[in-house]
Amino acid sequence: MPLLHKAKLICALILGGISLPSSEHVKEEMNETDNLDTVSSLIQKMSVKYPTLIETIVNERDQYMSSMLLSVASEHNSVVAVVGKGHLQGITKHWQQPVAIRELLLIPSAKPIISTRTMLSIIGVAVTGVVIALGVRYSGSK
């Protein structure tokens, strides 16, 4: 997940935590999310603000659960699975489709924001600039 998306999510969580809703409002929200269309629209809205988060938390999990359920279902006559409402459409979508499980299980290595070479170059330029500035300053005072 890019740093900008992480920062946006953290800000939203902090600001959301500052103004906690009333218990009545929470009950209303829970009743509204009983409807599958409401959950789907909520996921759609979230995917606009946080596309990489939704990709990881919803889409990749849908693929993984679909693949695992299909694997278990191929070995047994009947299978019961409890999944969240937000995953039903995705599991159905990915059912019977090939899923690259190894890629889903692979945790990408974090790329440094600035490479070591770039950082050393910046430090070198800064030190050179300071030396030149000090040289100009003290050479003019003699």
* Predicted pLDDT of residue 51: 79
Q: Look at residue 32 and tell me whether its pLDDT is greater than 70.
A: no
Q: What's the rounded Cα separation, in Å, for the pair 27 and 22?
A: 9
| Two structure tokens written together for 104 | 């889903």
Q: Look at residue 1 and tell me whether its pLDDT is greater than 80.
A: no
* Predicted pLDDT of residue 128: 93
User: Any idea how long the chain is?
Assistant: 142
Q: What is the pTM of this model?
A: 0.55
Please name which of 103, 34, 104, 30 lies closest in space to residue 62, comparing C-alpha atoms. Answer: 104
Least confident of 74-78, 96-100, 124-128: 96-100
Q: Left (φ > 0), alpha (ψ -120 to 50) or beta: where does 9 sit?
A: alpha
Q: Look at residue 16 and tell me whether its pLDDT is greater than 70.
A: no
Confidence of residue 137 (pLDDT cuts 50, 70, 90): confident
Q: For residue range 81-124, what is the model confidence (pLDDT) as tens digits? A: 898 877 888 888 888 888 888 888 887 777 777 778 888 898 99
